[in-house]
Chains A and B, each alone.
Chain A
Amino acid sequence: MAMQNINKASDSTKVDTSHSEHPSAVTYFKVAVALCLLTGLEVVVFFFEWLSYGIIPVLAVLSVVKFALVIMFYMHLKYDHRLFSTLFLTGLFLAIGVIFALMALFGWFNAG
């Protein structure tokens, strides 16, 4: 059995995390362009007064897409081990749940 030293595991810097196929700089650039376009779209939509309440789902969808692009490509969740996604998304979904629960408790979704 290979000798197993605790010090090897602690604070180690070198264990490769086995994400082999990293995207190229071109992909990163494309993502950046997409992020900018989506932000631009958010601002354009913002000035469409006729949208009224419709702005809420539009902004929500656009931001979620931006959010997803960054965590999938820039933070490599798309390529990395699923454990990382699990750990992060647990916190993220609970966070979203708490926000909506508090909004509901403070009367955001009451009729009228």
Chain B
Amino acid sequence: MTTLLIPMIKRPLHPTGIWNWITTIDHKKIGLLYGATAFINFLIGGIEAILIRAQLSGSNADIITPEVYNQLFTMHGTTMIFLAIMPLSAAFFNYLIPLQIGARDVAFPRLNAFSYWVFLAGTIILHSSWLFGSAPNSGWFSYAPLTSVAYNPGHGMDFWIVGLQVLGIASLAASFNFIVTIINMRAPGMTLMRMPLFTWMTFITAILLVLAFPVITVALIELMFDRSFGTNFFFAPAGADPVLWQHLFWVFGHPEVYILILPAMGIVSEILPTFSKKPLFGYSTVILAGAIIAFMGWLVWSHHMFTVGLGPIPNSVFTITTMAIAIPTGIKIFNWIFTMWKGSITFSTPMLYAIGFIVTFTIGGISGVMHAMSSSDAQQQDTYFVVAHFHYVLFGGAMMGIFGGLYYWFPKFSGRMFSEKLGKVQFFLLFIGQNITFFPMHFVGMDGMPRRIYTYSGEMGWTALNALETSGSILVVISVLLFLHNIVKSWRSGEEAPGDPWDARTLEWSISSPPPEYNFEVIPEVHTVDEWWARKRGLLGEQSPSVGSNEKGEIHLPQPSFWPLVSAIGIFIGGYGLIYSYPVAIVGLVIMMVGVYSWSFEPVNDPD
């Protein structure tokens, strides 16, 4: 009687086996699903990268065709950004935010499941373009008019447009959810300025995301209309200015850069204090710096377009704003270094990653300041120098942070300890491998090797350095395989992890590993930053509360549901419909509507 529509489908109150995962709305399970899917995407993006490196390993190579090469670098960028780094961050958001703020779930558990399934739909749509024989091929920012039907026939661009649009829905839904969760589900006493740093960076990232994604949504709609219905948004013969696409893309694209890096900065800000046995140096400054970076991220987008010919005034303005953004970033780096200063440091694997992050991210930051200057950027634009820069910040920055986070919270996720020895070997392999891969790119870039070039003549003198880069990438591959080995083996047969293996500081470590389904038996009351640390050290005085007292029998968790999945399936079918056949799109829309309606009329809890 509770659902108007489809009352015959019974709610999966106690699902088992695979249905348990399919209908789950537990943020921890969804977090693991996000992590697993995104890591597979990371491997796929890695295979694409290796093929690119293979093609570039020697001069005049033709290991793959130029057509496939274009598809590879487009899909490599798109995969790593939208399908690997963003959802890996989302995996941490999902698993950790409720634990860090002392809640039992997110504000909208079913919306959370919906986000994951829609993300999976977008993943499949984008990867499946390979199977349909036409992967997108115009680079991850797909400048007009290269994306028009005239220059880009076939369905490759349509897959790209629809894929990103679907992923946008997933990211927006997740971000709405986390904003509300962080605003409204904090444990008693946890004021904003007592929140863990990772929670803060998640909050800022989510705000950036809900403001930036609508811009790309509209840009993609415009591009889709141009391709499908013959409109003129980016059609120069009708008087349109294709530079508009560049502006719209980068109005979104630059905040997107901070969407990628801020979560990693949050992770590093959790690891460093734990392994230095000191509070984070300048807690409020690090938060403020993050907020300033997020705000200024809106003022710098045209630095991606210095060579377009915007004129001296825009170039000067964006040079100044871009250089200024180095200030809050530098503040953070100094805060991290001062956190370690005079600390009693344990060099465990997560800590090595955090330190590695600081080193490589700083290198990437410095090369960033170099082409922040529009006059010097004229030399560097579209060369391998830029490729070196953003791999230092995205691989050396975001991915190093994420690897560190994966090690740091692995005991919490799995209830097992990983092999520390393998972890250290893996870190050094990865650290050395990535520097061998990306550092020489600075030199060939300065020497004029263009980005996205299919091959080069031996006379250019780039052969040796390119071969070196490729050999470095093999080291990276080996280290990633080693990581997988370590994780899989430890998950199966690792030593059992205690609740707080690192003597850490935040609330997620106050409960068992892995956490019980309801997270906290009693919702903790928060008195200070680093609450768990303060409790362990008895810093809260007499009132120093313990975590215990069993009220388990009273805890009601939100119940599993089919409808998020059904709605996502509607979007999935609708996505293919938009690419191939509009009637199918309508079928998808109807399925989605059925899902959404049934969801709306399904109460959070049926009495059972």
Contact = CB atoms under 8 A, between A and B. Distances in A.
Interface stretch (B453-461, B474-482, B555-563, B581-589): B555-563
Contacts of A94: 211, 298
B558 A102 contact: no
Contacts of A97: 298
A99 B132 CA distance: 39
A5 interface: yes
Nearest to B106: A10
Nearest to B305: A105
A26 interface: no
A102 B525 CA distance: 48
A6 B314 contact: no
B551 A3 contact: yes
Nearest to B185: A9
Interface in A72-112: 83, 90-91, 94, 97-98, 102, 105-106
A91 B213 CA distance: 12
Given A9-B185, A94-B211, A105 B310 contact: yes
A105 B314 CA distance: 7
A100 B4 CA distance: 47
Contacts of A6: 103-105, 109, 518, 556-558
B247 interface: yes
B247 A105 contact: yes
Find the residue from A6, A90, A102 having the highest chain B CB count within 10 A. A6
B327 to A, nearest CB: 21
Contacts of B207: 90
Interface residues of A, number: 19
Contacts of A11: 108, 110, 604
B105 A10 contact: yes
A23 B555 CA distance: 40
B544 interface: no
B124 to A, nearest CB: 28
A1 interface: yes
Interface in A1-30: 1, 3-7, 9-12
A1 B211 contact: no
A5 to B, nearest CB: 5
16 contacts: A1-B522, A1-B523, A4-B104, A5-B104, A6-B518, A6-B557, A10-B107, A10-B604, A12-B604, A83-B183, A91-B211, A98-B251, A105-B302, A105-B314, A106-B241, A106-B244
A13 to B, nearest CB: 9
Contacts of B314: 105
A102 B247 contact: yes
B558 A4 contact: no
A105 B306 CA distance: 13
Given A94-B211, A105-B314, A10 B558 contact: yes
B596 to A, nearest CB: 14
A16 to B, nearest CB: 15
A9 B604 CA distance: 10
A41 B464 CA distance: 73
A3 B554 contact: yes
B605 interface: yes
B215 interface: yes
B184 interface: yes
B242 to A, nearest CB: 13
B181 to A, nearest CB: 10
Interface of A: 1, 3-7, 9-12, 83, 90-91, 94, 97-98, 102, 105-106
State the majority secondary structure of interface residues on B.
Answer: loop
Most B CB within 10 A of own CB, among A10, A94, A106:
A10
Nearest to B295: A94
Contacts of B251: 98, 102
Given A94-B298, A102-B247, A7 B604 contact: yes
A35 to B, nearest CB: 27
Interface in B554-608: 554-558, 604-605
A4 B554 CA distance: 9
Nearest to A4: B523
A11 B559 CA distance: 12
A98 to B, nearest CB: 6
A90 B207 CA distance: 10
A1 to B, nearest CB: 7
A98 B247 CA distance: 10
Given A9-B184, A90-B211, 12 more contacts: A1-B525, A4-B104, A5-B104, A6-B105, A9-B185, A11-B604, A91-B210, A98-B251, A102-B251, A105-B247, A105-B302, A105-B314
Nearest to A5: B556
A83 B241 CA distance: 39
Interface string B288-302: 000000000010001
A61 B298 CA distance: 27
Contacts of B211: 90-91, 94
A105 B183 CA distance: 36
Contacts of B247: 102, 105
A5 B107 CA distance: 12
A12 B558 CA distance: 12
B206 to A, nearest CB: 12
A7 B558 CA distance: 5
Contacts of B518: 6
Contacts of B555: 5
A109 to B, nearest CB: 11
Nearest to B603: A11
5 smallest A-B Cβ distances: which pairs? A6-B104, A5-B556, A11-B604, A6-B105, A7-B556
Contacts of B185: 9
A25 B65 CA distance: 71
